Structure 1
Protein backbone atom coordinates (compact mmCIF):
# COMPACT_ATOMS: atom_id res chain seq x y z
CA UNK A 1 0.00 0.00 0.00
CA UNK A 2 1.22 3.51 -0.74
CA UNK A 3 0.79 5.37 2.51
CA UNK A 4 0.93 8.67 0.73
CA UNK A 5 -1.66 9.05 -2.03
CA UNK A 6 0.34 12.01 -3.29
CA UNK A 7 3.92 13.07 -3.03
CA UNK A 8 5.46 15.43 -0.57
CA UNK A 9 6.41 18.40 -2.72
CA UNK A 10 7.01 19.74 -6.19
CA UNK A 11 9.08 22.39 -7.88
CA UNK A 12 8.72 24.29 -11.13
CA UNK A 13 10.34 22.53 -14.06
CA UNK A 14 13.34 24.87 -14.04
CA UNK A 15 13.94 24.52 -10.30
CA UNK A 16 13.51 20.77 -10.45
CA UNK A 17 16.13 20.51 -13.16
CA UNK A 18 18.54 22.62 -11.11
CA UNK A 19 17.98 20.48 -8.03
CA UNK A 20 18.55 17.27 -9.96
CA UNK A 21 21.80 18.56 -11.44
CA UNK A 22 23.06 19.73 -8.05
CA UNK A 23 22.21 16.40 -6.43
CA UNK A 24 24.27 14.56 -9.04
CA UNK A 25 27.30 15.19 -6.90
CA UNK A 26 26.27 12.13 -4.85
CA UNK A 27 27.31 8.58 -5.69
CA UNK A 28 24.04 7.74 -7.44
CA UNK A 29 22.36 9.65 -10.24
CA UNK A 30 18.72 10.56 -9.53
CA UNK A 31 15.99 9.78 -11.99
CA UNK A 32 14.99 12.53 -14.37
CA UNK A 33 11.32 11.64 -14.00
CA UNK A 34 9.74 13.58 -11.10
CA UNK A 35 6.27 13.29 -9.68
CA UNK A 36 4.33 16.43 -8.89
CA UNK A 37 3.02 17.11 -5.45
CA UNK A 38 -0.09 15.52 -4.34
CA UNK A 39 -2.86 17.86 -3.44
CA UNK A 40 -1.36 20.72 -5.42
CA UNK A 41 -4.68 21.30 -7.16
CA UNK A 42 -6.82 21.27 -4.00
CA UNK A 43 -8.73 24.40 -3.17
CA UNK A 44 -8.13 26.78 -0.31
CA UNK A 45 -5.00 28.44 0.98
CA UNK A 46 -4.14 27.23 4.48
CA UNK A 47 -2.07 29.59 6.61
CA UNK A 48 1.70 29.17 6.55
CA UNK A 49 3.39 27.91 9.71
CA UNK A 50 5.87 30.24 11.44
CA UNK A 51 9.47 30.20 10.22
CA UNK A 52 12.38 29.87 12.66
CA UNK A 53 14.85 32.26 11.07
CA UNK A 54 15.46 34.04 14.37
CA UNK A 55 14.75 31.10 16.69
CA UNK A 56 17.57 29.70 18.79
CA UNK A 57 18.58 26.14 18.03
CA UNK A 58 17.94 25.25 21.67
CA UNK A 59 14.26 26.04 21.16
CA UNK A 60 13.72 23.22 18.69
CA UNK A 61 10.11 22.01 18.91
CA UNK A 62 9.34 18.50 20.06
CA UNK A 63 7.64 16.20 17.54
CA UNK A 64 5.14 13.62 18.75
CA UNK A 65 3.75 10.61 16.89
CA UNK A 66 0.82 8.40 17.89
CA UNK A 67 1.72 4.95 19.21
CA UNK A 68 0.59 3.20 16.02
CA UNK A 69 2.85 5.13 13.61
CA UNK A 70 6.62 5.29 13.23
CA UNK A 71 9.28 6.55 10.82
CA UNK A 72 12.57 4.63 10.76
CA UNK A 73 15.66 6.35 9.35
CA UNK A 74 18.66 4.27 8.35
CA UNK A 75 22.25 5.46 7.92
CA UNK A 76 22.32 8.62 10.01
CA UNK A 77 26.05 8.47 10.81
CA UNK A 78 28.53 9.30 8.03
CA UNK A 79 31.58 10.20 10.11
CA UNK A 80 31.23 13.83 9.00
CA UNK A 81 29.61 16.11 11.61
CA UNK A 82 28.09 18.47 9.05
CA UNK A 83 26.59 15.69 6.95
CA UNK A 84 25.22 14.03 10.08
CA UNK A 85 23.55 17.30 11.08
CA UNK A 86 22.00 17.61 7.61
CA UNK A 87 20.64 14.06 7.80
CA UNK A 88 19.24 14.64 11.28
CA UNK A 89 17.36 17.79 10.26
CA UNK A 90 16.21 16.18 7.01
CA UNK A 91 14.61 13.42 9.10
CA UNK A 92 12.99 16.01 11.38
CA UNK A 93 11.60 17.77 8.31
CA UNK A 94 9.87 14.54 7.30
CA UNK A 95 8.65 13.90 10.84
CA UNK A 96 7.30 17.44 11.06
CA UNK A 97 5.10 16.90 8.01
CA UNK A 98 3.77 13.64 9.43
CA UNK A 99 3.12 15.22 12.84
CA UNK A 100 0.99 17.87 11.11
CA UNK A 101 -1.03 15.05 9.51
CA UNK A 102 -1.52 13.39 12.89
CA UNK A 103 -2.50 16.71 14.51
CA UNK A 104 -4.79 17.60 11.62
CA UNK A 105 -3.26 21.07 11.45
CA UNK A 106 -1.00 22.98 9.06
CA UNK A 107 -0.05 25.37 11.86
CA UNK A 108 2.15 23.09 13.96
CA UNK A 109 5.39 24.69 15.11
CA UNK A 110 7.67 21.97 13.73
CA UNK A 111 6.23 22.11 10.20
CA UNK A 112 7.48 25.65 9.65
CA UNK A 113 10.60 25.11 11.72
CA UNK A 114 12.14 22.41 9.56
CA UNK A 115 10.57 23.36 6.20
CA UNK A 116 10.65 26.69 4.41
CA UNK A 117 10.11 28.32 1.01
CA UNK A 118 8.67 25.95 -1.62
CA UNK A 119 9.04 22.90 0.60
CA UNK A 120 6.89 24.54 3.28
CA UNK A 121 4.12 25.69 0.96
CA UNK A 122 4.00 22.30 -0.74
CA UNK A 123 3.99 20.50 2.61
CA UNK A 124 1.06 22.62 3.79
CA UNK A 125 -0.90 21.73 0.66
CA UNK A 126 0.00 18.06 1.14
CA UNK A 127 -1.08 18.00 4.78
CA UNK A 128 -4.28 19.85 3.94
CA UNK A 129 -5.16 17.02 1.56
CA UNK A 130 -5.13 14.59 4.47
CA UNK A 131 -7.19 16.99 6.58
CA UNK A 132 -9.79 17.46 3.85
CA UNK A 133 -10.16 13.68 3.47
CA UNK A 134 -10.24 13.16 7.25
CA UNK A 135 -7.33 10.74 6.90
CA UNK A 136 -4.16 9.90 8.80
CA UNK A 137 -1.76 6.95 8.53
CA UNK A 138 -0.62 4.01 10.62
CA UNK A 139 2.29 1.56 10.50
CA UNK A 140 6.00 1.97 9.80
CA UNK A 141 7.72 3.88 7.00
CA UNK A 142 11.39 3.18 6.39
CA UNK A 143 13.84 5.73 4.96
CA UNK A 144 17.05 4.31 3.53
CA UNK A 145 19.97 4.92 1.12
CA UNK A 146 20.30 8.45 2.49
CA UNK A 147 23.21 10.37 0.96
CA UNK A 148 24.35 13.95 1.46
CA UNK A 149 26.12 16.31 -0.91
CA UNK A 150 27.40 19.53 0.66
CA UNK A 151 27.53 22.77 -1.31
CA UNK A 152 29.47 25.39 0.62
CA UNK A 153 28.90 26.04 4.31
CA UNK A 154 25.15 26.55 4.26
CA UNK A 155 23.63 24.46 1.47
CA UNK A 156 23.20 20.71 1.04
CA UNK A 157 21.34 18.11 -0.97
CA UNK A 158 19.96 14.84 0.38
CA UNK A 159 18.97 11.91 -1.80
CA UNK A 160 17.01 9.08 -0.17
CA UNK A 161 14.41 6.39 -0.60
CA UNK A 162 11.26 5.57 1.34
CA UNK A 163 9.58 2.21 1.84
CA UNK A 164 5.85 2.64 2.47
CA UNK A 165 5.00 -1.06 2.13
CA UNK A 166 4.19 -1.32 5.84
CA UNK A 167 2.35 1.96 6.36
CA UNK A 168 -1.29 2.48 5.55
CA UNK A 169 -3.93 5.17 5.14
CA UNK A 170 -6.37 5.29 8.06
CA UNK A 171 -9.68 7.15 8.06
CA UNK A 172 -10.13 9.13 11.26
CA UNK A 173 -13.93 8.96 11.22
CA UNK A 174 -14.41 5.26 10.54
CA UNK A 175 -11.08 3.94 11.82
CA UNK A 176 -10.82 1.85 8.64
CA UNK A 177 -7.27 1.02 7.53
CA UNK A 178 -6.51 0.41 3.84
CA UNK A 179 -4.10 -2.54 3.87
CA UNK A 180 -3.81 -3.06 0.13
CA UNK A 181 -0.82 -5.11 -1.00
CA UNK A 182 2.49 -3.34 -1.58
CA UNK A 183 3.51 -2.54 -5.16
CA UNK A 184 6.49 -0.90 -6.87
CA UNK A 185 4.82 2.42 -6.11
CA UNK A 186 5.27 1.77 -2.40
CA UNK A 187 8.89 2.88 -2.89
CA UNK A 188 9.77 6.52 -3.54
CA UNK A 189 13.00 8.32 -4.48
CA UNK A 190 13.49 11.83 -3.09
CA UNK A 191 15.95 14.63 -3.81
CA UNK A 192 15.81 17.42 -1.24
CA UNK A 193 17.59 20.77 -1.00
CA UNK A 194 18.42 22.14 2.45
CA UNK A 195 19.78 25.47 3.66
CA UNK A 196 21.29 26.29 7.05
CA UNK A 197 19.54 29.24 8.69
CA UNK A 198 20.88 31.75 11.23
CA UNK A 199 19.87 29.46 14.11
CA UNK A 200 21.94 26.59 12.70
CA UNK A 201 18.91 24.58 11.54
CA UNK A 202 19.15 22.78 8.22
CA UNK A 203 15.74 23.59 6.74
CA UNK A 204 14.35 21.77 3.72
CA UNK A 205 13.69 24.38 1.05
CA UNK A 206 12.85 22.27 -2.03
CA UNK A 207 12.08 18.61 -2.68
CA UNK A 208 11.24 16.48 -5.70
CA UNK A 209 10.23 12.84 -5.79
CA UNK A 210 9.69 9.90 -8.09
CA UNK A 211 7.31 7.20 -6.92
CA UNK A 212 8.17 3.68 -8.10
CA UNK A 213 11.75 4.63 -8.99
CA UNK A 214 13.91 1.57 -9.75
CA UNK A 215 16.71 2.89 -7.52
CA UNK A 216 14.55 2.25 -4.43
CA UNK A 217 13.03 -1.13 -5.28
CA UNK A 218 13.86 -4.09 -2.96
Structure 2
Protein backbone atom coordinates (compact mmCIF):
# COMPACT_ATOMS: atom_id res chain seq x y z
CA UNK A 1 0.00 0.00 0.00
CA UNK A 2 2.70 2.50 0.60
CA UNK A 3 6.41 3.72 -1.24
CA UNK A 4 10.96 5.51 -0.93
CA UNK A 5 8.05 7.49 -0.09
CA UNK A 6 6.06 4.20 0.44
CA UNK A 7 6.58 0.58 -0.67
CA UNK A 8 5.45 0.34 -4.27
CA UNK A 9 4.02 -3.03 -3.36
CA UNK A 10 3.76 -5.32 -0.39
CA UNK A 11 6.41 -7.44 -2.05
CA UNK A 12 8.76 -4.46 -2.05
CA UNK A 13 8.50 -3.27 1.52
CA UNK A 14 12.27 -2.88 1.85
CA UNK A 15 11.99 0.37 -0.09
CA UNK A 16 9.89 3.07 1.54
CA UNK A 17 8.85 5.87 -0.77
CA UNK A 18 5.37 7.36 -0.81
CA UNK A 19 2.10 5.83 0.42
CA UNK A 20 0.73 3.43 -2.25
CA UNK A 21 -2.18 1.23 -1.28
CA UNK A 22 -1.67 -2.27 -2.66
CA UNK A 23 -3.05 -5.73 -2.01
CA UNK A 24 -0.77 -8.69 -1.28
CA UNK A 25 -0.45 -11.97 0.55
CA UNK A 26 -0.12 -11.19 4.26
CA UNK A 27 2.00 -12.63 7.01
CA UNK A 28 0.69 -13.98 10.29
CA UNK A 29 2.90 -11.50 12.11
CA UNK A 30 1.28 -8.66 10.21
CA UNK A 31 -2.16 -9.83 11.25
CA UNK A 32 -1.08 -9.89 14.89
CA UNK A 33 0.30 -6.41 14.58
CA UNK A 34 -2.96 -5.12 13.20
CA UNK A 35 -4.94 -6.93 15.89
CA UNK A 36 -2.87 -5.16 18.49
CA UNK A 37 -3.65 -1.90 16.76
CA UNK A 38 -7.38 -2.55 16.85
CA UNK A 39 -7.41 -3.99 20.32
CA UNK A 40 -7.90 -7.73 20.12
CA UNK A 41 -6.68 -10.52 17.87
CA UNK A 42 -5.61 -14.11 17.94
CA UNK A 43 -2.52 -13.86 20.10
CA UNK A 44 -1.13 -17.28 19.13
CA UNK A 45 2.13 -16.83 17.22
CA UNK A 46 4.83 -14.35 16.25
CA UNK A 47 5.93 -11.83 18.83
CA UNK A 48 5.47 -8.56 17.05
CA UNK A 49 5.15 -5.03 18.34
CA UNK A 50 2.31 -4.43 20.79
CA UNK A 51 1.25 -1.38 18.84
CA UNK A 52 1.24 0.01 15.36
CA UNK A 53 3.71 2.82 15.62
CA UNK A 54 3.87 5.57 13.06
CA UNK A 55 5.69 8.83 13.05
CA UNK A 56 6.10 10.51 16.40
CA UNK A 57 4.35 13.65 15.26
CA UNK A 58 5.04 15.46 18.48
CA UNK A 59 2.88 18.47 17.92
CA UNK A 60 -0.58 19.74 17.33
CA UNK A 61 -2.86 17.29 15.57
CA UNK A 62 -5.09 18.13 12.64
CA UNK A 63 -8.22 19.98 13.73
CA UNK A 64 -10.44 18.10 11.31
CA UNK A 65 -10.69 14.48 12.49
CA UNK A 66 -12.91 12.05 10.61
CA UNK A 67 -16.48 12.78 11.69
CA UNK A 68 -18.33 10.50 14.05
CA UNK A 69 -21.28 10.86 11.68
CA UNK A 70 -23.81 10.67 14.48
CA UNK A 71 -26.51 11.53 11.97
CA UNK A 72 -26.55 7.91 10.80
CA UNK A 73 -26.71 6.52 14.33
CA UNK A 74 -23.30 4.83 14.17
CA UNK A 75 -20.92 5.35 17.09
CA UNK A 76 -17.64 5.84 15.25
CA UNK A 77 -14.10 6.04 16.65
CA UNK A 78 -12.35 9.34 16.11
CA UNK A 79 -9.59 9.33 13.51
CA UNK A 80 -7.17 12.26 13.53
CA UNK A 81 -4.24 12.83 11.19
CA UNK A 82 -1.18 14.86 12.21
CA UNK A 83 -0.99 18.45 11.03
CA UNK A 84 1.65 17.65 8.39
CA UNK A 85 -0.35 14.83 6.76
CA UNK A 86 -3.51 15.27 4.72
CA UNK A 87 -5.87 13.07 2.70
CA UNK A 88 -7.70 15.08 0.04
CA UNK A 89 -10.80 13.49 -1.49
CA UNK A 90 -12.03 15.03 -4.71
CA UNK A 91 -15.47 14.67 -6.22
CA UNK A 92 -17.83 15.70 -3.44
CA UNK A 93 -21.38 14.38 -3.34
CA UNK A 94 -22.59 12.15 -6.18
CA UNK A 95 -26.26 12.99 -5.75
CA UNK A 96 -26.97 9.36 -4.84
CA UNK A 97 -27.30 9.05 -1.05
CA UNK A 98 -26.39 5.34 -1.05
CA UNK A 99 -23.19 5.94 -3.03
CA UNK A 100 -22.33 8.92 -0.86
CA UNK A 101 -22.61 6.74 2.26
CA UNK A 102 -20.21 4.18 0.75
CA UNK A 103 -17.72 6.87 -0.28
CA UNK A 104 -17.85 8.43 3.19
CA UNK A 105 -16.81 5.13 4.81
CA UNK A 106 -14.13 4.65 2.16
CA UNK A 107 -12.71 8.04 3.16
CA UNK A 108 -12.81 7.09 6.83
CA UNK A 109 -11.03 3.83 6.06
CA UNK A 110 -8.24 5.64 4.21
CA UNK A 111 -7.92 8.16 7.03
CA UNK A 112 -7.71 5.34 9.58
CA UNK A 113 -5.03 3.56 7.55
CA UNK A 114 -2.87 6.65 7.17
CA UNK A 115 -3.38 7.49 10.85
CA UNK A 116 -1.99 4.07 11.77
CA UNK A 117 1.18 4.83 9.80
CA UNK A 118 1.72 8.45 10.82
CA UNK A 119 0.46 8.70 14.41
CA UNK A 120 2.40 7.10 17.25
CA UNK A 121 -0.33 5.62 19.45
CA UNK A 122 -0.95 2.39 21.31
CA UNK A 123 -4.32 1.88 19.66
CA UNK A 124 -5.84 2.78 16.31
CA UNK A 125 -9.42 1.55 16.75
CA UNK A 126 -10.57 3.17 13.51
CA UNK A 127 -8.55 0.75 11.40
CA UNK A 128 -10.33 -2.40 12.53
CA UNK A 129 -13.63 -0.52 12.61
CA UNK A 130 -13.41 0.19 8.86
CA UNK A 131 -11.48 -2.88 7.64
CA UNK A 132 -12.29 -6.59 7.28
CA UNK A 133 -11.26 -9.72 5.39
CA UNK A 134 -8.21 -9.68 3.12
CA UNK A 135 -7.91 -5.91 3.47
CA UNK A 136 -7.27 -6.35 7.19
CA UNK A 137 -4.25 -8.49 6.31
CA UNK A 138 -2.87 -6.24 3.59
CA UNK A 139 -3.34 -3.17 5.79
CA UNK A 140 -1.29 -4.83 8.52
CA UNK A 141 1.52 -5.60 6.12
CA UNK A 142 1.42 -2.09 4.72
CA UNK A 143 1.86 -0.60 8.18
CA UNK A 144 4.48 -3.15 9.17
CA UNK A 145 6.54 -2.14 6.14
CA UNK A 146 6.92 1.34 7.59
CA UNK A 147 7.67 0.05 11.08
CA UNK A 148 10.44 -2.31 9.99
CA UNK A 149 12.18 0.48 8.11
CA UNK A 150 11.66 3.10 10.83
CA UNK A 151 9.84 5.26 8.31
CA UNK A 152 6.74 7.37 8.08
CA UNK A 153 5.82 10.21 5.75
CA UNK A 154 4.44 13.72 5.60
CA UNK A 155 2.51 15.52 2.89
CA UNK A 156 -0.73 15.22 0.96
CA UNK A 157 -2.31 12.25 -0.78
CA UNK A 158 -4.97 13.06 -3.37
CA UNK A 159 -7.83 10.70 -4.26
CA UNK A 160 -9.85 11.38 -7.42
CA UNK A 161 -12.07 9.79 -10.09
CA UNK A 162 -13.86 7.94 -7.30
CA UNK A 163 -16.59 5.54 -8.38
CA UNK A 164 -19.06 3.25 -6.58
CA UNK A 165 -20.64 0.18 -8.19
CA UNK A 166 -23.14 -1.90 -6.24
CA UNK A 167 -22.54 -5.62 -6.82
CA UNK A 168 -25.23 -7.21 -4.68
CA UNK A 169 -27.06 -6.56 -1.44
CA UNK A 170 -24.55 -5.25 1.08
CA UNK A 171 -21.56 -5.46 -1.27
CA UNK A 172 -20.06 -2.78 -3.54
CA UNK A 173 -16.88 -1.89 -5.41
CA UNK A 174 -15.14 1.43 -4.84
CA UNK A 175 -12.45 2.48 -7.30
CA UNK A 176 -10.33 5.60 -7.39
CA UNK A 177 -7.04 7.10 -8.49
CA UNK A 178 -4.38 8.03 -5.96
CA UNK A 179 -1.68 10.67 -6.32
CA UNK A 180 1.19 10.39 -3.82
CA UNK A 181 3.59 12.79 -5.51
CA UNK A 182 3.22 15.35 -2.71
CA UNK A 183 4.31 13.03 0.10
CA UNK A 184 7.82 12.74 1.48
CA UNK A 185 9.52 10.05 3.60
CA UNK A 186 10.25 10.75 7.24
CA UNK A 187 12.99 8.96 9.17
CA UNK A 188 11.62 8.09 12.60
CA UNK A 189 15.09 7.81 14.15
CA UNK A 190 16.21 11.28 13.15
CA UNK A 191 12.88 12.99 12.52
CA UNK A 192 14.21 14.25 9.19
CA UNK A 193 12.01 14.57 6.12
CA UNK A 194 13.51 14.01 2.67
CA UNK A 195 11.87 16.48 0.30
CA UNK A 196 14.42 15.92 -2.46
CA UNK A 197 12.51 13.00 -3.99
CA UNK A 198 10.71 14.03 -7.15
CA UNK A 199 7.35 12.62 -8.14
CA UNK A 200 7.16 9.96 -10.82
CA UNK A 201 4.59 7.82 -12.61
CA UNK A 202 4.95 5.14 -9.94
CA UNK A 203 3.46 7.55 -7.41
CA UNK A 204 0.11 7.33 -9.18
CA UNK A 205 -2.09 4.28 -8.70
CA UNK A 206 -5.48 2.98 -9.71
CA UNK A 207 -7.08 1.29 -6.71
CA UNK A 208 -10.07 -1.03 -6.68
CA UNK A 209 -11.63 -2.06 -3.38
CA UNK A 210 -14.53 -4.25 -2.36
CA UNK A 211 -16.60 -3.03 0.55
CA UNK A 212 -19.16 -4.93 2.62
CA UNK A 213 -21.83 -3.53 4.92
CA UNK A 214 -21.59 -4.99 8.41
CA UNK A 215 -24.32 -5.38 11.00
CA UNK A 216 -23.58 -1.90 12.36
CA UNK A 217 -24.27 -0.36 8.98
CA UNK A 218 -20.60 0.41 8.31
CA UNK A 219 -19.20 -0.20 4.81
CA UNK A 220 -15.94 -1.95 5.67
CA UNK A 221 -13.16 -2.30 3.11
CA UNK A 222 -12.81 -6.05 2.57
CA UNK A 223 -10.26 -6.38 -0.24
CA UNK A 224 -7.90 -4.11 -2.15
CA UNK A 225 -6.05 -4.33 -5.46
CA UNK A 226 -3.89 -1.62 -6.97
CA UNK A 227 -1.99 -0.86 -10.17
CA UNK A 228 0.88 1.61 -9.94
CA UNK A 229 1.79 3.89 -12.84
CA UNK A 230 -1.72 3.31 -14.20
CA UNK A 231 -2.31 5.19 -17.46
CA UNK A 232 -5.85 5.81 -16.21
CA UNK A 233 -4.49 7.91 -13.33
CA UNK A 234 -1.16 9.29 -14.55
CA UNK A 235 -1.31 12.84 -15.99
Shorter-chain TM range is 0.7 to 0.9
Q: Are residues 1:97 and 2:97 paired?
A: no
1:121-153 deviation digits (Å, cap 9, x = unpaired): 110111111122221110111000001101233
- The count of residues paired between Structure 1 and Structure 2 equals 189
Q: Aligned in 2, Cα 1:201/1:41: closer, same or farther, shift over 3 Å?
A: closer
Q: Which has the higher contact order (CA 8 A, sep 6+)?
A: 1
Aligned to 2:181: 165
> Contact 1:164/1:186 (CA < 8 Å) preserved in 2?
yes
Distance in 1 between residues matched to 2:133 and 2:166, nearest whole Å: 19
Distance in 2 between residues matched to 1:143 and 1:161, nearest whole Å: 6
TM-score (norm 2): 0.72
> Contact 1:66/1:102 (CA < 8 Å) preserved in 2?
yes
Q: Which runs of 5+ in 1 are unaligned?
A: 10-34
TM-score (norm 1): 0.78
Trace 1:55-204 onto structure 2 (pairs within 5 A): 58-104=74-120, 107-179=123-195, 180-204=197-221
**CA shift for structure 1 position 37:** 3.6
1:9-46 deviation digits (Å, cap 9, x = unpaired): 9xxxxxxxxxxxxxxxxxxxxxxxxx6549x5696642
Q: Which runs of 5+ in 2 are unaligned?
A: 12-21, 41-71
Q: Aligned in 2, Cα 1:217/1:106: closer, same or farther, shift over 3 Å?
A: farther
Q: Give the alignment's Cα RMSD to 1 decimal.
A: 2.7
1:39-94 deviation digits (Å, cap 9, x = unpaired): x569664252359xxxx953201111111110000113111011001111111111
1:147-201 deviation digits (Å, cap 9, x = unpaired): 1101233111011010011011111221222321111001011000000011110
Q: Are residues 1:215 and 2:232 paired?
A: yes
